[in-house]
Structure 1
Amino acid sequence: MNAPVEIRSGSDAVLGYVRYGNGPVHVLVMHDWLGDHSSYDAVIPWLDGHAFTYIFIDVRGYGQSIELAGEFTVEEIAADCLMLADHLGWTRFHLVGHSMTGMITQRIAADAPSRVTSAIAVCPVSAAGNRLSPEALAFFASTIEDDDALRRLFKFVTGGLSDAWGDRKVRQSRDTVAPTCRARYLEMLVTANFVDDVRGLETPYLIIVGDKDPGLDSEAMACTFLAWHPNAELHVIPNCGHYPMQECPPYFATVIEGFLKRNAI
């Protein structure tokens, strides 16, 4: 794997992150509820570090920011990302959000529309939140401590990948996510609702889903991102579940960089 240019631990002043590339086009990349920046490790060898500078952030409670306490809210993540962009000297930048942080791309685009050149939402939860049934919420909550439940979740959202896949994802999640933040971010996911703030945003959007992701599919995107954002387009990755950056990294890199290059100005 190509080595990252810089690894920075988080502090009270700025989130932790991993930087890759030194190109003129700036891309801020966010992770999901169940893992940190390392979910993107498999993609790095296929990225164009001459055209782009990628900052793979860790939100509070994850990875390089695992020691950072906080409110663990949509608004806090968005403010932290904008503060990091300021720290980096980025006036304008692109956003990538995955699952939980799909909605964060919308919050940042609504809060600072002049700064967001384009956004990519990967298998995303939207500004409407994810209104889980009581049974589903209880299952998601059980994954916070129950390794077997977490393993079953990873396998379910990827169309039944192997036990070895599930085991590795469980280890990654347990190693990189602080237990104290998991329940708070789950609460954020199921209660968020700021649709009125994002409806009609002209930010160019690419929505990526995998055809084996059972909950966040193209039908769900048609009712949310595609309905609200006039400049949104959908790309469905075949034979792929909820983690395209790990399940098919070269293809995922090709799709996102094609979109970023079309919207680089």
Structure 2
Amino acid sequence: MKVPLEVPLEIRRGSDAGLGYVRYGNGPICVLVLHDWLGDHSSYDAVMPWLDGHACTYVFADLRGYGLSIELDGEFTVEEIAADCLLLADRLCWSRFHIVGHSMTGMITQRVAANATSRVISAIAVCPVSAAGNRLSPDALAFFSSTIENDDALRRLFGYVSGGLSDTWTEGKTRQNRVTVSSACRRPYLDMLVTADFVDDIRGLETPYLVVVGEKDPGIDADAMRRTFLAWHPNAELQVIPNCGHYPMQECPPYFATVIERFLKRTTS
């Protein structure tokens, strides 16, 4: 069942003024939401009907090369993404806000929080890659690189990280990727993922953090989070979502909405 949207929805395309985005809700709690390497803002479509748009204002931003920002070129670096996020917050007239990042953009929550400590109220990192990057073995890097053009490889990747969801689901995710992600940005963002290292800049950052992982996510598990986010951030807490892989916002949307909004409302008050 999909609940009809009963709160404002605004769509803005990317331009010289900055990133494109979808804004949902009109509440006082301002939340900037970022997507992963393999999909744009539409990865959150399934969770949107379950969010409290009267308490929160969510802005689902598309990075350069994705979705509503697919025509925006750039350097595709951590620093550029963080600057784009803060520029977007300025455009929205948000003096303070929460930030959510998924997978690749888990590290971006750390960069933004470090760059604008007084503005970031709290951060949520979902199945995140950290400020230490994702140091892939040569074979793993070759496989990830192959998914940039090879649909079969991309289907295998989606099937693997989702904990064994159906072929129909992986096919849908593959179609979404090919339509919403520019070919020009895929390799540079992958390079960013595997080479990033700014742990010294974020170690000890006191921003409240919720780190969310799926029980069935094979690559990013609770132990990895204890070695990274929970080790570096003194105000971090961990939530493991049962029977879920790398895409909790799509695999269990009502539960995911409940988990993040409990944290957002608690850290705002």
Query: Residue in 2 aligned with 1:26?
Result: 30
Amino acid at match of 2:267: N
| Correspondences of 1:115-130 after superposition (within 5 Å) | 115-130=119-134
1:177 corresponds to 2:178: no
Q: What secondary structure does 1:6 align onto?
A: strand
Q: What secondary structure does 2:268 align onto?
A: coil
1:45 corresponds to 2:49: yes
How far apart in 1 are the matches of 2:187 and 2:243? 31
Q: What secondary structure does 2:15 align onto?
A: coil
1:60 corresponds to 2:39: no
Query: Residue in 1 aligned with 2:232?
Result: 228
* Percent of pairs with identical residues: 78
Amino acid at match of 2:252: C
Query: Residue in 1 aligned with 2:201?
Result: 197
Encode CA deviations 1:62-111: one digit per residue, 9 max, x unaligned. 00000000000000000000000000000000000000000000000000
1:94 corresponds to 2:98: yes
**Which contiguous aligned blocks of 4+ residues in structure 1 show a shift greater than 4 angstroms?**
none
How far apart in 2 are the matches of 1:101 and 1:186? 12
Query: Residue in 1 aligned with 2:168?
Result: 164
Query: Residue in 2 aligned with 1:14?
Result: 18
| Correspondences of 1:217-256 after superposition (within 5 Å) | 217-256=221-260
Q: What secondary structure does 2:210 align onto?
A: strand
1:79 corresponds to 2:110: no
Query: Residue in 1 aligned with 2:210?
Result: 206
1:2 corresponds to 2:2: no
How far apart in 2 are the matches of 1:210 and 1:160? 13
1:215 corresponds to 2:223: no
Q: Aligned-pair distance for 1:14?
A: 1.2
How far apart in 2 are the matches of 1:5 and 1:134? 43
Superposed CA RMSD in Å reads 0.7
Encode CA deviations 1:156-195: one digit per residue, 9 max, x unaligned. 0011111001100000011100000000000000000000
Match of 2:154 among 147, 150, 153: 150
Amino acid at match of 1:119: A
How far apart in 1 are the matches of 2:195 and 2:5? 39
How far apart in 2 are the matches of 1:121 and 1:14? 23
Show structure 2 runs of 5+ residues with no match: none
Encode CA deviations 1:19-77: one digit per residue, 9 max, x unaligned. 00000110000000000000000001100000000000000000000000000000000
TM-score, normalised with respect to structure 1: 0.99
Show structure 1 runs of 5+ residues with no match: none
How far apart in 2 are the matches of 1:191 and 1:145? 21
TM-score, normalised with respect to structure 2: 0.98
